[in-house]
A and B are shown apart, each in its own frame.
Chain A
């Protein structure tokens, strides 16, 4: 059974510092991995999707890497801003899954201090 872990559970950094968020998964037979952002009282917004054949994806200040063999993904956010404060979740789709069933990690709550 796939398990997704995100450490740390919470992170606080001063504005301008780079953010590094970690995600690990127990079963490397994944189809893809997604990173989401969740703001309080709001739904999830998909940030990046990395297919199993890819090593990384980039969007603006965001870069996500994937190492399937070691069961890890890292989300980098460059030059953090107070607006980046949110909870970040990673989720994987297993190859064995029926359809787009995502298994989520518990999230990392990020606070960027001005």
Chain B
């Protein structure tokens, strides 16, 4: 069983389209995250949710909207896609995120988004 699974693995789309990436974790974790890895391989956090509540919201364009229907799911919807959105998007989860913790993060295998 995959602990953190995200779909699709690859997403190729045209500029201006709207797309969603889904993420699910079966670890019973309370907190989920979205990270973006750019072409230079730098990983940066975008959002984190704890029990469906937004905890971290980095300076991400409001075209990106995370949605957490329950604590096991955190989907990422992107409106009006731009060329610069091309990257690999990783979902992750951890046991808890109320304040600082020493919990390890568990990552999904990534979604490679290519905007043409």
Residues 58-110 of A contacting B (Cβ, < 8 Å): 87, 89, 91, 93, 95, 97-102, 104, 106-107
Given the interface pairs A31-B100, A93-B100, the reply to whether A99 lies near B107 with Cβ below 8 Å is no
Q: Which residues from chain A contact B105 at a C-beta distance below 8 Å?
A: 34, 44, 46, 100, 102
Q: Which residues from chain A contact B41 at a C-beta distance below 8 Å?
A: 87, 106-107
Q: Mark B93-116, 1 if CB is under 8 A from A, else 0.
A: 010011111111111111000000
Check A100–B97 contact: CB distance below 8 A: yes
B86 contacts chain A at the CB level, 8 A cutoff: no
Check A42–B109 contact: CB distance below 8 A: yes
Check B44–A104 contact: CB distance below 8 A: yes
Check B102–A49 contact: CB distance below 8 A: yes
Who on chain A is nearest to B48 by CB?
A: A99
Interface of A is mostly: strand
A22 contacts chain B at the CB level, 8 A cutoff: no
Number of interface residues of B (CB under 8 A): 30
Check A43–B90 contact: CB distance below 8 A: yes
Q: Mark B17-61, 1 if CB is under 8 A from A, else 0.
A: 000000000000001010000001111110010100001100000
Minimum CB–CB distance for B42 against chain A, Å: 6
How far is it, in angstroms, between the C-alpha of A45 and the C-alpha of B108 when the chains are bound? 9
Q: Which residues from chain A contact B104 at a C-beta distance below 8 Å?
A: 34, 46, 49
Q: Which residues from chain B contact A41 at a C-beta distance below 8 Å?
A: 109-110
Out of A36, A98, A100, name the residue touching B101 (CB < 8 Å): A100
Check A46–B106 contact: CB distance below 8 A: yes
Check B56–A42 contact: CB distance below 8 A: no
Residues 46-102 of B contacting A (Cβ, < 8 Å): 48, 50, 55-56, 90, 92, 94, 97-102
Return 29 A-B CB contacts under 8 Å, by A number: A31-B100, A34-B105, A41-B109, A42-B110, A43-B90, A44-B90, A46-B104, A46-B106, A49-B104, A87-B41, A91-B43, A93-B100, A97-B100, A98-B55, A98-B56, A99-B31, A99-B56, A99-B97, A99-B98, A99-B99, A99-B100, A100-B48, A101-B45, A101-B48, A101-B56, A104-B42, A104-B43, A106-B40, A106-B42
